[in-house]
Amino acid sequence: MSISTGSSAKPDKQVAGSPLASPHAAPGEDILAASDSSQQGLSREEASARLEQYGQNALTPPRKEGPLLRLLRQFHQPLIYILLASALVTALLQKWVDASVILGVVLVNTLIGFIQEAKALQAIEALVRDMTTTATVVRDGERSEIPAHELVPGDIVLLQSGDRVPADLRLLRSRDLQIDESALTGESVPVEKDDGIVEADTVLADRRNMAYSTTLVTHGTGMGVVTGTGDNTELGRISELISSAEVLATPLTRKINRFSHLLLYVILAMAAVTFLVGTLRGESWFNMFMASVALAVGTIPEGLPAVVTITLAIGVGRMARRNAIIHHLPAVETLGSTTVICSDKTGTLTQNQMTVQQLLAGGERFQASGLGYNPDGAILRGGNPVSIASHPALQELLLAGALCNDSQLKKGADGWYIEGDPTEGALLVAACKAGLDLKQLQMEWPRLDAIPFESKYQYMATLHDRGPAQKRRVYIKGSVESLLPRCMTALNAAGEPEELEWGPIEDHVQEMVTEGLRVLAFARIDFPAEIDAICHENIETGLVFLGLQGMIDPPRPEAITAVHACLAAGIHVKMITGDHPGTAAAIASQIGLDGAGQKPDTVPVINGAALEKLSGQELIDIAADTVVFARVAP
């Protein structure tokens, strides 16, 4: 058996070409067979044996330096070595005051560095919160909940909306499953999953049949077999890469080391020359030795380490007030020597909150102001706020987005947030910006039935009651490709149905896509009042096209300011993300990254697949001119 292992044991080497070497490229049945498992799950005895063999489903914690080692490391500096040697010599010569002063400088320098580093470690540890998660598994054919750290390779895990994926899984079944992978891949919208097979060289962000540890299920249900736990998950591999990264000396420490060695040689040479010349002139060797030592001690800049440490400590304190934690003191100086900054996109340069930015209704284009899930904002046309009362087609479009929706917009202690799908959340926020009351809408338009979103159909539909003697209305939202062929008419600017013209709509869609927007189409159809349920056959044709809403995860205003400040200081800024090239280029253009053109299609972009084919020198050459690195594996 060749399976991925947990953090407490060394993993078995997987044979090249075996199903578990690339689980996304093999049928689910082969993965089960290679894992010695089945859809009935492992037996409890087998699960216990594997837990004993492979260890818990947890990342191996990094080794921590003890307080004594951290204290001793403060002395590991060339200038400190010179000062300690000087203190020893002056003490041997019974120059107690000089020895005490030198030792005092050393101790002050050491204590400042030790205390500052201890504060940084405490701040980092405060950011790590213990989270006890559970996983729903099938064992002995029975469904049960267990702590996530007890999962083992071969376990069958069940997923549903709201779950955090507890380990790396090869999906065996899925129903409308969508997973938010932004924390791992940078994908700004939830990814639709299925249980099919993809090519072995498919990049991680496009492996639709895999679910990865710590990602979040936003919609649907699924079942998968565990292919990796602990350090053998994709998250574990990232952790291992970080822990094995080479610790580089900062520019300041390199310069101080060079200066210290040069100073040491100069001081020793001067002392030797002084001793030799004095002795040749007839002075006693003892007096010349004392003079040489005095010269050496006097030449040593004993205040330099203390001044450097205090300066760096002040810088660390200022960074802490800006919510930036500096672990090692010299790292703060590195910021001043930076020439290139490589940044993630999702949640760093952007808000990780989908926002509707453009709307098409009645043949007219509108914009939505405001960012994120905060409903403060307005619907604009030509830069001026508009009233939906005077734009019935726009009102109908926003109404469709608010009603054909399973998510909720809520306000918490930390601000506004979405319960459910981020894309649906963006539609709710857009409706609020237009002045629609979501609770009032739900009471006035009660839902009678719904067709949930399915990957096969690429749309969702909801049936609503409009009151006595009124026709019942179905609102549909989905991809342009799935809805437009079903539409016969479209609302004009006055809100009246007229003949549908495909050309202008497709042109608008292409413009939005070029700008990196995710475009959703909306439609409606009315039915007699006695209709209480709907099915796919009811909405195959005869729909009224309502319009489009284009959304994107917008850039942070503070990120735009920071990028411009960097560029003004001569610092190049690059974006490295797992998101789609088009979306990444659009954000780069909006932020104004170094070399980014006014239009997204002029931004220099390279994807992860092309990167992997480059040699070392080719990578160096292309990295200088490329602004956006998209679809890059974590």
DSSP state of 576: E
Both tokens of 184, joined, read: 């791992």
Q: Which residues contact 103 (CB under 8 A, 6 or more apart)?
A: 87
Q: For residue 322, count CB atoms less than 10 angstroms from its CB and return exposed for 0-12, middle for 13-18, buried for 19 or more.
A: exposed
What is the rounded (10 degree) CA torsion for 141, 144, 145, 147? -50
Nearest to 300 by CA among 273, 253, 256, 260: 260
Cβ(161)–Cβ(177) under 8 Å?
Answer: no
Q: Which residues contact 46 (CB under 8 A, 6 or more apart)?
A: 36, 154
Cβ(360)–Cβ(393) under 8 Å?
Answer: no
Whole-angstrom Cα distance, residue 384 to residue 202?
A: 46
CA angle 321, 326, 328 (to 5 degrees): 145
DSSP state of 164: B
What is the rounded (10 degree) CA torsion for 369, 396, 449, 483? -90
Whole-angstrom Cα distance, residue 627 to residue 208?
A: 27
Helix locations, 345-471, DSSP H: 392-403, 422-433, 438-444
Whole-angstrom Cα distance, residue 493 to residue 365?
A: 11
Nearest to 154 by CA among 15, 6, 9: 6
- Tokens 């300041």 label which residue? 252
Both tokens of 404, joined, read: 């054909």
Catalytic residue of the set 12, 194, 195, 344: 344
User: For residue 173, which phi and psi values (nearest 5 degrees)?
Assistant: -145, 150
Judged by DSSP in three states, 332 sits in helix
DSSP state of 195: S
Both tokens of 445, joined, read: 């338009």
Whole-angstrom Cα distance, residue 506 to residue 491?
A: 16
Both tokens of 262, joined, read: 């040069």
487-491 and 497-499 strand pairing: antiparallel
344 is catalytic: yes
Whole-angstrom Cα distance, residue 440 to residue 430?
A: 16
Both tokens of 381, joined, read: 């046309």
Cβ(549)–Cβ(397) under 8 Å?
Answer: yes
Residue type, 387: S
Strands (E), 111-213: 134-139, 142-147, 156-160, 168-180, 191-192, 210-211
245-264 in b/e form (b: 16+ CB < 10 A) is eeeeebebbeebeeebeebb
Catalytic residues: 344
